[in-house]
Amino acid sequence: MVSASLLAATPALAQPYGNVIPGADQTSIVVHTDTNLMTVTVNPADAAATEIKGTVKNNSDNKTFTCAGPRGNGATAGDVTTAKLVAQSEDYYRKNTFRELPKVPIQFGNIPIVGPIKLGELDLGSLGPLLQGLGGLLGDPNADRNKIAKDYSNERVKGHAGLIDKFTVKPGESADFSAYLNNPSSGPRTDFDAAAFIMCTDETKAAYAFTGYEEGTRKPGDAFFGSPGLPSLNSPGLQSPSLPKPKNPTPTAAEPSSPPAPVTE
């Protein structure tokens, strides 16, 4: 059985707003995308660059943006990394809310559980309230988020990622930003199409995502998983692979021949 320490922690995760829709909660943050409230420009750079610089322009008449993450209280405004990853991240927030992974103390007797939890081995009846609160962290959004995180780690190893310090920009004003790139784990840094992904909040604490792509490059199309921008396997844009022919094909049965026509004298 799951100890009381888990159940005691559950209400704080699952019931702060009393949602009744399965898996729903109000603790996640809706991130506004595709607005024209801010323009992000990324300066061109080459493989020798150790820092990516750019500028943001607040196009609004009455909003001051605090660019310090989705809650407005972080140390960084966002990331500089590859254009593909930035496009995927923006597309993720078109379809999903921002969530932070909760810290769940789980204990069986006096033995704490550290690492992945095999749900099949737990008493799911006791875990019901917990799973209700974690519904949005499971399924497709979780797989998409993990895929982006894995690809981002790969780009860090290549020296294709860096963090942007927090900043504030008032209505109609501009601000410069920069991000120092991680050193590659081995070898020289290769050139890449850089882009910036910046999260800001306004005075009402509404969250926004703004993106910009390196000058001289083109924003990727709908680059996210299964998007219309990528041809499917059977689409005209991508030829389906033909199946290999069997080594010993089964001979096709011969069609029965027509009976000979009667001979007339």
Q: What is the pLDDT of residue 245?
A: 47
Q: How far is Cα 258 from Cα 110, in angstroms, rounded to an integer?
A: 85
Q: What is the mean pLDDT of residues 124-152?
A: 64
230 lies in some domain? no
Q: How far is Cα 53 from Cα 43, in angstroms, rounded to an integer?
A: 6
Long-range CB contacts (within 8 A, 24+) of 188-193: 188/47, 189/47, 189/48, 189/49, 189/50, 189/158, 189/159, 189/160, 190/47, 190/158, 190/159, 190/160, 191/46, 191/47, 192/82, 192/83, 192/155, 192/158, 192/160, 193/82, 193/83, 193/84, 193/217
Q: 144, 158, 166: which is closest to 99 by C-alpha?
A: 144
Percentage, residues of the chain above pLDDT 90: 51
Q: Are strands 31-32 and 107-108 parallel, antiparallel or unpaired?
A: unpaired
Q: What is the mean pLDDT of residues 93-115?
A: 62
pLDDT in tens, 183-220: 999 999 999 999 999 999 999 999 999 999 999 888 88
Question: Is the whole model's pTM more than 0.75, yes or no?
Answer: no
pLDDT in tens, 27-85: 789 999 999 999 999 999 999 999 999 999 999 999 999 999 999 999 999 999 999 99
248 lies in some domain? no
Q: What is the DSSP string of 175-239?
A: EEEEEEPPPPSSSPPPP--EEEEEEEE-TT--EEEEEEEBTTS---SS-STT-TTS--TTSTTSP
264 lies in some domain? no
Q: How far is Cα 210 from Cα 63, in angstroms, rounded to an integer?
A: 14
131 lies in some domain? yes
Q: Which residues, other chains included, contact 50 with Cβ-Cβ below 8 Å and sequence gap of 6+? A: 180, 181, 189
Q: How far is Cα 11 from Cα 133, in angstroms, rounded to an integer?
A: 9
Q: How far is Cα 227 from Cα 231, in angstroms, rounded to an integer?
A: 8
112 lies in some domain? yes
Domain that holds residue 136: 4-213
244 lies in some domain? no
Across the chain, what does the average pLDDT equal? 75
Q: How far is Cα 152 from Cα 156, in angstroms, rounded to an integer?
A: 6
Task: Identify which has the larger pLDDT, 35 or 107.
Answer: 35
Q: Report how many domains make up the chain.
A: 1
220 lies in some domain? no
Q: What is the mean pLDDT of residues 11-33?
A: 69
Q: How far is Cα 214 from Cα 195, in angstroms, rounded to an integer?
A: 6
47 lies in some domain? yes
Q: What is the mean pLDDT of residues 208-235?
A: 64
pLDDT in tens, 245-263: 445 555 544 444 555 555 5
pLDDT in tens, 34-46: 999 999 999 999 9
The band of 142, judged by pLDDT with boundaries at 50, 70 and 90, is confident
